[in-house]
């Protein structure tokens, strides 16, 4: 084992590793402003959930839909902690001039009945709402949306070359979330979003105003479905291309394994990072054509740690997203859910990350305890065939830019072994890499492209799909992928950070597929049928749909 300095490699595009080292020493004592988008009770009250037993026209109104007027954008957001930001001066434009944008959907913990519609408006509006229906032109009564207001200072950008030209000196973002419950399983709903002065159902709808989603079938093994996944998307032509491929594949849902917009391009989770909140607007606009129709379920990456809003860095995430809150309340990126015969668990890899340690152990062991309880529950459910875990950081990877996470290997991999997790999906390294099945840190056998893994016998397969669109990284060893296999029998080096911040290089044999390029993962899940076992067919696809890996995870 050789040792190198941890400062010899990047922290996911961090501009200054020296500052990261300085920050590391002091991050536990540095005060942070509290988050600014309302009280926790207001954010996640289940009393605010929509109750819909049937949909379409009068049936929606009869089902007890919340009426507009219970939520409105606040021009003076509550600021907890110190120091408060100056209240922004907002000249309210007519509602008709403020078009909604950046729609993105998410499932609740029960995707057969719960969908969250989220979007933005460019200014303060009154009575924002969503209307849903079973036909594009037959929308029900408005369902009130919760407003989460986020105020950011332009001075948080570093450098700030255009600051003096921009007025006001703060950015106020209005994120709207309508939580729909008691929807009909396995049903397509159409919807529009609006507010006072802008109601696509009450006037001639403009192109793109009407979107749709489909609820999951009722809980049970189901008949099979497809989901997609990538991490590290960012904003740009490649990011848009992978998004378009998601749309083309038409999955039931998409997993985003963190590092979404790179608004915080530093990625260390410290106030010295470079940050421009406005990049989130561009991110959501870029993804609207896909995310307005397909639920995106996100895990937090190191670039989602935005220390200006909340003590845990996730105030921005809580304003912009509504993921299931079934871990322990305000857990943000830690939640579990199921879709047909697959149990899914989202983890916060910042909690175990020695490489970027700002939030290291911030759950104080709660996440590990919760993870084991969810793995045990999924494995005890005889209608769940597969368990898929997704998170940002890499448990196993030979890409040196961010390396592999010793914390995940020590804390979580033994649980993945114990409960025979079928697939672990991550990002963080901006490449595609797939391991042989691993147990106790070692490959159990070689499984090349086209091969089949039996997790009960072979162990867990780890996939890094960080080629969602941001700048690519490189491997120390040659690429080897479907149709372009290269000699790959020699051990290759893996870099890990230890708790003291030093990097270590060890040789490993499990790096089976490596591809340096933009891509996503598409997984076809199928229950057992007569003569065929339950299986996950996993494909890694480039931006133009070319397969660079294909393997099957099969349970008899």
- The piece of 47-55, 296-304, 381-389, 511-519 that touches Fe ion (CB under 5 A) is 296-304
Q: Is 12 in the site for Fe ion (CB under 5 A)?
A: yes
Q: How far is CA 72 from CA 45, 95, 106, 324, in A?
A: 16, 12, 22, 23
CA dist., res. 301 & res. 262, Å (int) = 10
User: What would the x/- binding string for Fe ion be over residues 245 to 284, using CB under 5 A?
Assistant: --------------x-------------------------
Residue number with the shortest CB distance to Fe ion? 259
Nearer to Fe ion, 231 or 437 (CB): 231
Distance CA 184, CA 30 (A): 48
CB of 359 to Fe ion, least distance (A): 13
What are the distances in angstroms from CA 271 to CA 53, 182, 276, 309, 533?
Answer: 46, 42, 12, 10, 51
Q: Which of 219, 251, 301, 468 binds Fe ion (CB under 5 A)?
A: 301
Of 215, 286, 302, 511, the residue at the interface with Fe ion (CB under 5 A) is 302
Rank residues 221 and 428 by Cβ distance to Fe ion and give the closer one. 428
First to last CA, the chain: 40
By beta-carbon proximity to Fe ion, the closer residue of 141 and 355 is: 355
**301 vs 333 by CB, closer to Fe ion:** 301
Tell me the closest approach of the beta carbon of residue 12 to Fe ion, in angstroms. Answer: 4
Minimum CB separation from Fe ion for residue 233, in Å?
Answer: 9
Query: Residue 516 and residue 248: Cα distance in Å, rounded?
Result: 22
Q: Does 306 bind Fe ion (CB under 5 A)?
A: no
The label of the residue with tokens 């899914």 reads 344
DSSP at 368: H
Q: In the bound complex, what is the minimum distance in angstroms from residue 290's beta carbon to Fe ion?
A: 19
| CB neighbour list of residue 546: distance below 8 Å, 6 or more residues apart | none
Residue closer to Fe ion (CB basis): 14 or 291: 14
Tokens of 156: 């948080």
Which two tokens mark 442? Answer: 């070692």
- Helical (H) or strand (E) element with 229: strand 225-230
Q: Minimum Å distance from CB 555 to Fe ion?
A: 31
DSSP-assigned letter for residue 49: S
Minimum CB distance to Fe ion smaller for 180 or for 399: 399
- What mask of x and - would describe binding to Fe ion in positions 420 to 459, judged by CB under 5 A? --------x-------------------------------
| Burial of 408: CB neighbours in 10 Å, binned 0-12, 13-18, 19+ | buried
Neighbours of 269 (CB within 10 A): 29
For residues 370 to 399, the per-residue mask of contacts with Fe ion, x marking binding by CB under 5 A and - elsewhere, is: ------------------------------
4-12, 17-25, 50-58, 534-542 -> range binding Fe ion (CB under 5 A) = 4-12
Q: In the structure encoding, which two tokens stand for residue 198, read together?
A: 């802008």
Q: By the 8 A CB rule, do 333 and 426 touch?
A: no
DSSP state, residue 391:
-
Shorter beta-carbon distance to Fe ion: residue 11 or 172: 11
Closer residue to Fe ion, CB minimum distance, 144 or 235: 235
Instruction: Determine the Cα–Cα distance for residues 336 and 343; give it in Å rounded to an integer.
Output: 7
- Greatest CA separation for the chain: 70
**Triad 446, 450, 455: Cα angle to 5°:** 55
- Of the pair 222, 403, the CB lying nearest Fe ion is at 403
User: Binding of Fe ion at residue 304 (CB under 5 A)?
Assistant: no
Q: Which residue, among 426, 539, 104, has the nearest Cα to 297 in the 3D structure?
A: 104
Judge contact between 332 and 301, C-beta under 8 A: no
Which CB sits closer to Fe ion, 178 or 394?
394
What mask of x and - would describe binding to Fe ion in positions 466 to 505, judged by CB under 5 A? ----------------------------------------
Q: Which is nearer to Fe ion, 214 or 303 (CB)?
A: 303
Of residues 203-232, those binding Fe ion (CB under 5 A): 232
**Interacting residue ranges for Fe ion, rule: CB under 5 A:** 12, 232, 259, 301-302, 428
């Amino acid at each position: 084992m050789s040792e190198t300095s941890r400062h010899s490699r990047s922290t996911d595009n961090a501009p200054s590793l020296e500052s990261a080292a300085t920050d590391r020493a002091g991050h536990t004592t540095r005060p942070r402003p509290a988050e600014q988008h309302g009280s926790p009770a207001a954010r996640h009250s289940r009393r605010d959930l929509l109750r819909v037993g049937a949909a379409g026209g009068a049936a929606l109104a009869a089902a007890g839909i919340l009426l507009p007027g219970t939520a409105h954008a606040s021009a003076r957001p509550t600021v907890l902690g110190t120091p408060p930001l100056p209240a922004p001066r907002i000249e309210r434009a007519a509602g008709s001039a403020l078009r909604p944008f950046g729609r993105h959907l998410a499932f609740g913990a029960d995707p057969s009945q719960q969908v969250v519609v989220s979007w933005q408006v460019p200014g303060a509006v009154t009575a924002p709402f969503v209307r849903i229906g079973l036909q594009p032109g037959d929308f029900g009564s408005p369902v009130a949306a919760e407003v989460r207001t986020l105020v950011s200072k332009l001075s948080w950008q570093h450098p700030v070359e255009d600051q003096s030209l921009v007025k006001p000196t703060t950015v106020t973002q209005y994120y709207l979330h309508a939580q729909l419950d008691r929807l009909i399983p396995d049903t397509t709903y159409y919807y529009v979003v609006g507010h006072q002065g802008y109601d696509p159902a009450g006037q001639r709808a403009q192109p793109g105003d009407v979107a749709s989603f489909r609820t999951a079938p009722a809980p049970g093994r189901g008949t099979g479905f497809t989901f997609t996944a990538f991490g590290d998307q960012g904003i740009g032509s490649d990011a848009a291309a992978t998004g378009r491929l998601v749309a083309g594949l038409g999955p039931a849902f998409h997993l985003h394994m963190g590092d979404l917009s790179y608004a915080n391009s530093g990625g260390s989770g410290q106030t010295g990072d470079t940050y421009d909140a406005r990049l989130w607007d561009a991110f959501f606009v870029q993804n609207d054509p896909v995310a307005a129709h397909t639920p995106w379920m996100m895990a937090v990456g190191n670039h989602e740690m935005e220390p200006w809003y909340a003590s845990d860095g996730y105030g921005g995430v809580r304003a912009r997203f509504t993921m299931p809150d079934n871990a322990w309340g305000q857990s943000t990126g830690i939640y579990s859910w199921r879709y047909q015969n697959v149990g899914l668990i989202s983890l916060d890899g910042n909690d175990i990350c020695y490489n970027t340690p700002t939030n290291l152990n911030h759950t104080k062991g709660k996440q590990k305890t919760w993870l084991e309880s969810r793995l045990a529950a999924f494995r005890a459910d005889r209608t769940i065939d597969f368990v898929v875990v997704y998170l940002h950081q890499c448990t196993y990877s030979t890409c040196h830019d961010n390396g592999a996470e010793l914390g995940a290997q020590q804390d979580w991999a033994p649980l993945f072994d114990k409960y025979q997790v079928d697939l672990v999906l991550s990002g963080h390294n901006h490449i595609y890499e797939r391991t042989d099945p691993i147990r106790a840190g070692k490959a159990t056998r070689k499984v090349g492209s086209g091969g089949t893994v039996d997790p009960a016998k072979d162990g867990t397969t780890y996939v890094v799909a960080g080629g969602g669109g941001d700048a690519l990284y490189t491997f120390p060893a040659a690429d080897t992928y479907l149709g372009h296999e290269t000699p790959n029998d020699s051990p290759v080096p893996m870099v890990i950070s230890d708790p003291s911040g030093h990097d270590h290089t060890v040789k490993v044999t499990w790096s089976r597929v490596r591809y340096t390029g933009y891509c996503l993962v598409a997984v076809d899940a199928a229950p057992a049928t007569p003569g065929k076992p339950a299986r996950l067919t996993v494909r890694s696809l480039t931006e133009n749909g070319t397969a660079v890996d294909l393997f099957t995870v099969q349970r008899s």
